[in-house]
Amino acid sequence: MTKKRPDIRIITRLVPPDGNLVQGQSELAIDPKLARAAAELVAASQNHYSPAEGVAALRREVAKKIKLLNEIEVDPEANPLELLITPGATGGLIAIAHTYLKDAAALVFEPFYPYHRRIVEELGGRTEVLSLHGENLELDGEELRARCRELKSRQPFPLRAIIACTPANPTGKVFNNNELEMIAGVCRELDLLCIADEVYEHYVVDDRQHGSIAKFDGMWERTITINSFSKSWNISGWRLGYAYGDSKLIAPLNNSNNVFYVCSPTPLQKALSEVLMSNPDYYSELRRKFMGKRDVAVATLKRLGFRIYDSGSAFYIWARIPDQFEDAMQLNEMLIGRGVAGVPGSAFASSDNCDGYMRFCIAREESILQHALGKLEKALQ
């Protein structure tokens, strides 16, 4: 009998906004300059088709961002393409799965983001799961190599790719350089594609550093990096993201981008291009803001008996539930009745390893976050 897994969107609908620590989106206010730019462009009738690969102005600004913050040179004018604007990171994942993973497999690390699995499998591929180990969610390099060697020549569904998400959803885990080199080494040895999901790169805090695996030796030509503006610019409903890498990998994605979506929203692309690189301190300010949110939430959760995973990032909190509870599903059902909720860890696993954990999303305005944490305290004290 298949174990029932929590449905994040259903849980979200069961709690009021001031108790929603559930859905992984930033609910902070939009940047006023971005809002004005969008309104002006819509009013100016900039509302028509644009190229499937994205508006040229936004692609140029994204290339500047990648050079500044990831130290990677991407040519926005390259032909064949090295950079695409996609309908969110999800649009990029869909194009990758449709182009490269039909009748093939991708490996994900547990705890995993459910859409990494769902997208691949909906589009004719298969996913394989490798668990991270212990309270610190450590990657065993030898286990990774042995598993990938076993799967590489399997028929049907030979292994074609490793999905490396850092910082990770749901745990916030920041893979260090040693772990990224383990992944890179296996990709090089077995000629595997690396799908690097870096959506949460701007939430790395404390003394941790975000590393882009595309910079590692021999990885540019085998890595597709996907990213999104949904979280960092509080515009999840705009559906804007990007994918970049070697032209041999990126250019074929634009066929799917075109067929499935035609284009990403034209006026919203143009608006973002006007503000994306206008404030050099934008992302450092974002990190400071989220470090404060994390400190407040962690202090509350610790008082209530949660054991907090030191992830190195600050969009999600991954926590072991208090000892008096045996299963996060049961705990969360009780919390829903009190008007607050997170996500049970079993939503992000195929094994039972995460049944005693919960994910809390802290990307909320201060008053909402404080109110939700207050509801948790009343429910658990």
Considering the domain architecture, whether residues 245 and 334 belong to the same structural domain is answered as no
Considering the domain architecture, whether residues 92 and 222 belong to the same structural domain is answered as yes
Distance CA 87, CA 141 (A): 34
b/e burial code for range 358-378 (CB count within 10 A of at least 16 → b): bbbbbbbeeebbbbbbebbee
Considering the domain architecture, whether residues 136 and 156 belong to the same structural domain is answered as yes
Considering the domain architecture, whether residues 158 and 182 belong to the same structural domain is answered as yes
Percent of the chain with pLDDT over 70: 99
Considering the domain architecture, whether residues 170 and 316 belong to the same structural domain is answered as no
Domain edge (last residue) among 226, 259, 275? 275
4-12 long-range contacts, CB within 8 A, separation 24+: 5/346, 5/347, 6/329, 6/332, 6/343, 6/344, 6/346, 6/347, 7/347, 8/114, 8/343, 8/347, 11/332, 11/336, 11/341, 11/343
What pLDDT was estimated at residue 34? 98
**Is residue 2 one of the residues assigned to a domain?**
no
Considering the domain architecture, whether residues 304 and 253 belong to the same structural domain is answered as no
**Category of 327 on φ-ψ map: left (φ > 0), alpha (ψ -120 to 50) or beta:** beta
Considering the domain architecture, whether residues 269 and 297 belong to the same structural domain is answered as no
Distance CA 14, CA 239 (A): 25
**Is residue 316 one of the residues assigned to a domain?**
yes
Q: How remote is the C-alpha of 291 from its chain's centroid?
A: 18
**Is residue 81 one of the residues assigned to a domain?**
yes
Considering the domain architecture, whether residues 336 and 194 belong to the same structural domain is answered as no
What pLDDT was estimated at residue 136? 95
Question: Has residue 330 got a pLDDT over 90?
Answer: yes
73-105 confidence digits (pLDDT tens): 999 999 999 999 999 999 999 999 999 999 999
Domain edge (last residue) among 275, 293, 310? 275
196-246 confidence digits (pLDDT tens): 999 999 999 988 999 999 999 999 999 999 999 999 999 999 999 999 999
What pLDDT was estimated at residue 206? 87
**Is residue 3 one of the residues assigned to a domain?**
no
CATH value at residue 139? 3.40.640.10
What pLDDT was estimated at residue 355? 97
Tell how many helices (H) and how many strands (E) occur in the chain: 13, 11
Considering the domain architecture, whether residues 150 and 74 belong to the same structural domain is answered as yes
Distance CA 235, CA 25 (A): 9
Nearest in space to 24 (alpha carbons), one of 167, 173, 169, 237: 169
Mean pLDDT of 314-335: 97
Q: Mean pLDDT score of the chain, rounded to an integer? A: 97
- Where in the sequence is the domain holding 313, given as residue range(s)? 8-24+281-380
Domain edge (last residue) among 241, 275, 309? 275
**Is residue 1 one of the residues assigned to a domain?**
no
Nearest in space to 92 (alpha carbons), one of 126, 123, 46, 130: 123
265-323 confidence digits (pLDDT tens): 999 999 999 999 999 999 999 999 999 999 999 999 999 999 999 999 999 999 999 99
CATH value at residue 14? 3.90.1150.10
Considering the domain architecture, whether residues 109 and 176 belong to the same structural domain is answered as yes
Q: Which residues contact 357 (CB under 8 A, 6 or more apart)?
A: 111, 318, 319, 320, 321, 328, 344, 345
Mean pLDDT of 114-123: 98
What pLDDT was estimated at residue 5? 85
Q: Quote the number of domains for the chain.
A: 2
Percent of the chain with pLDDT over 90: 98
Q: From start to end of the chain, where are the E strands?
A: 83-86, 105-110, 126-131, 159-165, 193-197, 223-228, 241-245, 307-308, 316-320, 343-344, 357-361
